[in-house]
Structures are given as structure tokens and as C-alpha cells.
Structure 1
Amino acid sequence: MSSCLEVSRASLSLSQLRILALASLGGALEFYDFVIFAFLAKLIAAHFFPASQAEWLRQAEAFGLFGAGYLARPLGGIVMAHFGDTSGRKKIFTLSVLLMAVPTLMMGLLPSYQTLGVSAPLILLLLRIMQGAAIGGEAPGGWVFVSEHAPRGRIGLATGLLTGGLTGGIFLGSVVILTMHSIMKPDDVAAWGWRIPFILGGIFGFAAMFLRRWLDETPIFREMQEKAKTASTLPAKILIRDHRRSILCSMMMTWTLTAAIVVLILMMPPMMQTLHNISSSETMLASLAATLCLTLSVVAASALTDTVSLKTLSAICGVGLAIGAMGLYSVSPLFPHTLVFWAAFSGLCCGFVGLVPIGMLRAFPAMVRFSGVSLSYNISYAVFGGLTPAIISTLTPQTPVAPAIYVAFTAIIGCIALYFSPTEDSASRKNKVR
């Protein structure tokens, strides 16, 4: 009884808060670096592809480069996670920031097609692949790192603050782009101003890498090293042999996460403009409101897992996610001037996103935790992150509420996956890791 009270009263020390702050800052900057490419795709297309091509073709090629980053995530995440489970969490956690900062800075400095010819888009493709590999290790590495540093009674809070930092990177990217457009002339933005967000991202990334050098290795990994319980064979082999159920459930949870992020946040502005003729300025404001509320909701939902059953929260948040999607795509079009409100409401209903990393962390024992989370998260994100826009685009002509129906369907899938997902304790007993 006393031990339970001790756990419930556990708090984050100053050292743990410092670790959490550095981890969240680096994660936010990495996601900022990753998404500004999408925000500036039209200008990138004009600079890195032949002017003789049609504008729609150049933009399609630019989004193709954006998609290449998603395809690189699984490979980069799996490779980085392998060394994270065998050599240490800290080394890989620091390396991921460097792998993001270098290509981001180089994108801001890379000469255009007029100067380098066909080499320009090829180099840009390579840089984008490097970014994808880095982001593939950042989120799983961050979740594992902070959860293994946090006291048991505050793992949910610590993980949620990191997840909020990751989504906050999207918000930061939106703010930087809006600020640039508000203080610069359109011709200047098109000529050279678009490079500024990339250069800033690269500089901030190097600063985050320097600060992460002062992080300590996680206590759990140090204990595994002392007891010689790090993976003696390939972590991926152990996962496929002993943790197939955990992998499947984690991938299904991530499907729900991608649906919430892609459909309610990233696809919402262009869909509202196309389907309901809402102005771009209003949809961008709605996107900011949705992202801010998403950040708050994932922190709150994750923190609640320290005191409330994950299965109970998954049912509540799953229903909330469906309601938020329905409000955004079925109610707001009836009252276009309320879009910002419904976008913010849908963001608040995205608490399920905060439950996903908690579920994945609990599904794998420490010996293969980094690899398990990374494998499940990155493969699922690559598959469903790529398929979701195509599915929505196919279904929307049939009914304008198709996006909401799709999100509601994935919410059901995610709730089922969280309910049947193994827990860390059972997995630990099976593998005798913790």
C-alpha cells in the first residue's frame, strides 16, 4: 500500500524536467524542419524543377519529394532503433537531431535548378531522405528516452509533454511561415525569403544537438548494461519471434494517430477550401487553432494515464475523436464562420493521439522497446500516412462527410488495438528483462 502511495506521489525532479525540456525542444524543432517543406512546396517547386514544366507537374514533383521523407522513415527508424537498443538511447537521440539539422540547413542554402541543373532536385531528394531517416528515430527515441527517465508515477505526464512538443513543432512551423508572409513582400518571399525557415531550422537543430550532449543515459538502459541484459541478437529478430501481437496492436494504434493528424490537421485547410469555398486565410487560422488544441489535448490525455486505466481512456478518447471529426466535417460547413471553433474543438478531441505512445511503450519490454516502438510506428505511419490522403480523396466525392467517417472507423480500430495490446509487465515477465 505504501509503495502505491509513493508511486502516485512521485514527481519530476529538476534533472528530469531538464531532460524533458531538452527532449521536447529537440523534437519540436525536428518536426518543424520536417513540415515546413510541405508549407513551402509551391515555392520549392518553382526553384528546383525546370521552368518549362507545367506548374501542376512541378508541384506534384515537389510533393513527391515530400513523400520520399515518409518512405525513408521506416528504414531510418529501424536502423537507429537497433543501435538504440544495443548501444544506448542517448547516442541515437543526439544523432537524430544532427541528421535533421544538416539537411535542413543545406536545403536553405542549396542552389536552384537554374544553377545546378538536374543535380539540384537530386540533391534535394537525398536531403529529404536524410530528414525522413532522422524523423523516423526522433519520436520513438524521444518517447523511450523520457519514459525511462521519468518516475513510474509520472511516465504518462512526461511522455505527453514530449508528444505535445512534437505536435508543437507543426504549430511553430505554421507561425514562422505566417510571420514571414506578413513582414515580407510576396516577391521577396518567392525569390529568397522561403530559405529563411530552413536556415533557422538548421541553426536551431545544431543548438539542440549541442544541448542534448548534456543528457544522461537512461537508468533502465544502464541497468540492462550492468546486468548484461541488452539484446544479444538482432532486436528485430526478437520482435518478430516473440512480440508479433504487440507489433500488430501498435501499428493499429498508429493508424488512428495518423488519421487524426492527417485528416483533422494537415488535410483540413485544402479540403475546406475545395469542398466549401472557405478562404485560405481562415482555413490557415483554423489549422493553427486545431494544432494548438491538439497539443494541449495530447498532454492532458497522456498525463491521465498515470491515474486512469488506459483502456477506459481509450474508450472515452475514441468516442471523442469521432465526435470531433463529425463536428468539423459535417457541422462546420453548415456555418462556415464557425470553422475556427470546430477546428479547435476537433483538436481538443484528439486526446487519443496522446494515448498511442503510452500503449506502445507498455507493449514492449525494455530490451527491445526502442526497436518495437520504432518498427511499429514508422511502418504504420509510412503505409497509412501515404494511403490516407488517397482514401479520403476517393471517398469524398461520394459524401462530404467521408473524412469524418474514416476517422471514426480508425478510432474503433485504435480502441480495439489498445484493449488487446499486451502490457509491459506481462511482456517483462515473459522475457525476464525488468
Structure 2
Amino acid sequence: MSTAATPALAKSTTPPHAWRVIVSASIGNALEWFDLVVYGFFAVTISKLFFPSGNDTVSLLLTLGTFGVSFFMRPLGAIVLGVYADRAGRKAALTLSILLMMSGTLLIAIMPTHASIGVLAPAGIVLARMIQGFSAGGEFGSATAFLAEHAPARRGFFASWQVASQGITTLLAAAFGAILTHSLSHEQMQSWGWRIPFFFGLLIGPVAYYIRTKIDETPEFLAAEPTQTPLADTFASQKERLLLAIGAVVLATVSTYSVLYMPTYAIKQLGMPASVAFTAIIATGVVQLICSPLVGMWSDKHGRTGIMLAAAVLFLVLAYPIYRLLATHPTFGVMICVQIFIGILMSAYFGALPALLSDLFPTQTRTTGMSLAYNIAVTIFGGFAPFIITWLISASGDKLAPSFYLMAASLASIFALLRVRKLGMR
């Protein structure tokens, strides 16, 4: 299996407007993921306001279940927006996805609680999450293709900003969590404080939309002959590539949503203050933001799969000891060290992944293929990760249960990457 980039463009140099390309994709992408991540970070508060049941664990499971339900919309969004991007262009799909995400965020920001409107409150949250899930379904593939296709010779570096922008998301969401939980009383957080991050997302939304309307289409897309049947083409001739891409994404999504779940884990299982838990997660966002582009550059020179395999093996071997250390010593210092270490491993794996996925699919079906692979994996293995982890801990009584899920994801991705290498991709 060879790299699917257009040969004539694979040797092209970095475009003069390189940073404008990166900023255009990254700002909107960061906002897309911010709106999703902040819901997970404030799951404990949202569970009490919108899913009251008289049992904190049941309420939390309902909230995290709603977090997961939205992921059922991702494959649909991947198909609709992915096909749209392969037909109409990356720019058109990116602009549409930001509008959809803003709509879902607005619903959450203004939704009255269960105490005010009863069952309509959780129903409204579910609807908002479904809109967000549909939007996110097309965002990864469109943004990654947009970044990768502007500089095929530096695909690893450019595509890695897909991950770096998610680091910005983690940083912003954790910062909001730390500042709000430290500055506001419990009553203020329950009353209005939790809504602030969602309104923040709405303020940035128009800026991100404006920037995306002004960006140029990718040279690689313009040079290719578009297909009118990207979905059918993907399933007809690229099934193995699709399966390998899904397998490669498994570890990336499980590790990402394990980090997203960490504030809930630290508060509910380790008894740590919320402000401490959120502050520690800021470290992960900083590491991801800094390290992902470095990994992308390294992958351009030395290949993608070697870096990713090394990170996957380390996750497999060290997941249990990491969680054991945290459970045994639930202090701020240990939490910071754990989050930095996880951030480094995530960056090593995830930083090279977007370019690998871009290499797997030809230009004509790239967004459709990447969107499907990413969102199928995220829906099955990532979206319900917080729910599964919470259930595993409750059912087994073992605080180290999250490590088992991470280890299983590592094995799945190791097998996929070994197959990719066997087929000739590096």
C-alpha cells in the first residue's frame, strides 16, 4: 500500500501562507472540540442539574451516557459532511460544521434545568449533544484534509495541528474548570458558573466562522478530479484502508477521552478537590500543544508508524502502574506528573496519526475515509469511554479499572499499525 498523495504535489514546498492555513483550521477546530470537552469536564455538575435521580452515581451515568449518545450522530455527520467535503471542497464543509457546533452550544448554554422545566431539560441537552456530535463527525476529516493537503511534503507537521488545536481545547477547558471551581462557591457553580465556558465558546464562534469563510481551498483538492460517489468508492475499493484506519484511531480516542474523564475520576474516586483536578489537566493541554507539531515534523523525516508503535507499547506496559501510582498517592504533585506523562505519550501517538490517516486515502475520498474511520472508532471506543470506565469501577470496585480499558485499546492499535507496516506504509 503506497502513500495516497498526488505525486505531482508530494514534492511541493511549504506554501507562503503556511501559518494562515494553520491558524484558519486550528481556531475553528479548537472551538469545535472545546464545546465537546467542556461538557465532559463539567459532567458532575450537569448530572445534578439535568439528570437528578436521587443517586449520584446513576445521575453521573445518565450524564455520561448522554455524552456517549451524541457520538451515535458522528458516523452520520462523517458521511454527510465527509461526502460534502469531497464533492464541494474542504472549505465549505469546515464552514458548515462550525455553524452546527455553535447551534448545539447555544442550546446547552441557555437550557433551563430540570428543576425549571422538568423532562424537557434533559431532552434539550440530548438534542444539543446530537447536533454537536453531527458537527464533530465531519470536523476531523475536513480539518485534517485541509491541513494535510496544503503542504504534502510536510504533511506530518501540518496535519499535527489538528492534535495541537485539541491541546488548546484541553488547556482552555481545564483552565475554565480550575478558575471557576476555585473562584465560585458550590451554589454559584450550580446556579450559573457552569454556563460560562459555553457562552465563551459562543463568543469565539463568529470569529472562527469569519476566518473559515476567508480561507483558500487546498491545492491538492483543486488539482484532483472530484468523484461524485466518494462514499461508494471508499467501501468498494478501500475497505482494508478503512479498517486499518479505525484500528489506528482506537488508542488515540481512548487515551483522549480518558483524559477528559480524569476530573470526574479525580473528584469521585480519589476525593481530590475539583480545582486541583482541573489545574493538573492543564499540563496535558500544554504538552499536547507543544509536542504534537514536533512529533509531526519528526514523522515527516522518519515515518509515522515507528513513533506510534513505541507510544502504544508504552501505554500498554505503563497504564496500570500509572493509575496505581495515582490511586495510591492522590496528591497534586503526582497528578501533575501523571498528566504530563500521559500528555507526552498521547502526543507521540496522536501527533503522527492525522498524517498517517491522510496517507491511507486518495484525495478524491480522503475526507470521507478519514471521517468514517475516525468517527466509527470514536463512537465505539471513545464516546462511551467515560461511561464504560465509570461502570467498570462501580461493577468491579477497582479504582484501577480505567487502566484495563487503556491497555485493551493499546493492543488493538498495535495490531493495526503492524499490519500497516506490513503493507508497506511507514
TM band (smaller chain) = 0.7 to 0.9
Q: Is the 8 A contact 1:305 1:313 kept in 2?
A: yes
Change (3 A) 1:140 1:422: farther
Q: CA deviation at 1:220?
A: 1.5
Q: Is the 8 A contact 2:65 2:384 kept in 1?
A: no
Q: CA deviation at 1:406?
A: 4.0
Q: Is the 8 A contact 1:282 1:340 kept in 2?
A: no
Is residue 160 of structure 2 the alignment partner of residue 156 of structure 1? no
- Matched with 2:280 is 286
**Aligned residues: CA RMSD:** 3.0
Q: CA deviation at 1:41?
A: 3.1
Mapped to 2, the partners of 1:399 and 1:40 lie a distance apart of: 23
- Stretch of structure 1 that moved more, 348-357 or 289-298: 289-298
- Matched with 1:31 is 33
Mapped to 2, the partners of 1:394 and 1:58 lie a distance apart of: 12
Q: CA deviation at 1:21?
A: 0.7
Q: Secondary structure, in 3 states, of the residue corresponding to 2:300?
A: coil
Change (3 A) 1:293 1:176: same
Cα displacement string for residues 312-351 of structure 1 (whole angstroms, at most 9, x for unaligned residues): 2233222333355344223444444423212211211221
- Stretch of structure 1 that moved more, 37-46 or 237-246: 37-46
- Matched with 2:4 is none
- Stretch of structure 1 that moved more, 104-113 or 324-333: 324-333
Is residue 252 of structure 2 the alignment partner of residue 249 of structure 1? no
- Which structure would you say has the larger Rg? 1
Q: CA deviation at 1:419?
A: 3.5
Q: Is the 8 A contact 1:324 1:345 kept in 2?
A: no
- Matched with 2:197 is 197
Cα displacement string for residues 61-106 of structure 1 (whole angstroms, at most 9, x for unaligned residues): 3333222221211111211001111111110111111111122123
Q: CA deviation at 1:8?
A: 8.6
Cα displacement string for residues 344-384 of structure 1 (whole angstroms, at most 9, x for unaligned residues): 11211221112222221111101100000001110111011
Q: Is the 8 A contact 2:280 2:335 kept in 1?
A: yes
- Matched with 1:421 is 420
Identity %: 27
Q: Is the 8 A contact 2:98 2:209 kept in 1?
A: yes
Q: CA deviation at 1:214?
A: 0.4
Q: Is the 8 A contact 1:361 1:424 kept in 2?
A: no
Cα displacement string for residues 104-162 of structure 1 (whole angstroms, at most 9, x for unaligned residues): 12321233445544333323322211111111111221101111112x33211111122
Question: Using CA pairs below 8 Å that are at least 6 residues apart, which structure has the higher relative contact order?
Answer: 2
- Matched with 1:73 is 74
- Matched with 2:345 is 349
AA aligned opposite 1:298: S
Mapped to 2, the partners of 1:121 and 1:332 lie a distance apart of: 34
Mapped to 2, the partners of 1:186 and 1:240 lie a distance apart of: 51
Q: CA deviation at 1:410?
A: 2.8
Q: CA deviation at 1:285?
A: 3.0
TM-score between the two structures when normalised by the length of structure 1: 0.85
Q: Which 5+ residue runs of structure 1 have no aligned equivalent? A: 427-434
Change (3 A) 1:293 1:326: farther
Q: Secondary structure, in 3 states, of the residue corresponding to 1:149?
A: coil
Is residue 336 of structure 2 the alignment partner of residue 340 of structure 1? yes
TM-score between the two structures when normalised by the length of structure 2: 0.86
Task: Number of aligned residue pairs: give it.
Answer: 412
Q: Secondary structure, in 3 states, of the residue corresponding to 2:130?
A: helix
- Matched with 2:216 is 216
Change (3 A) 1:148 1:268: same
- Matched with 1:87 is 88
- Matched with 1:384 is 381
- Matched with 1:410 is 409
Cα displacement string for residues 23-66 of structure 1 (whole angstroms, at most 9, x for unaligned residues): 111111111111222223343344445x6x42535444333322
Mapped to 2, the partners of 1:87 and 1:7 lie a distance apart of: 22
Alignment of 1:363-374 (within 5 A): 363-374=360-371
Q: CA deviation at 1:207?
A: 1.6
- Matched with 2:3 is none
Mapped to 2, the partners of 1:212 and 1:128 lie a distance apart of: 23
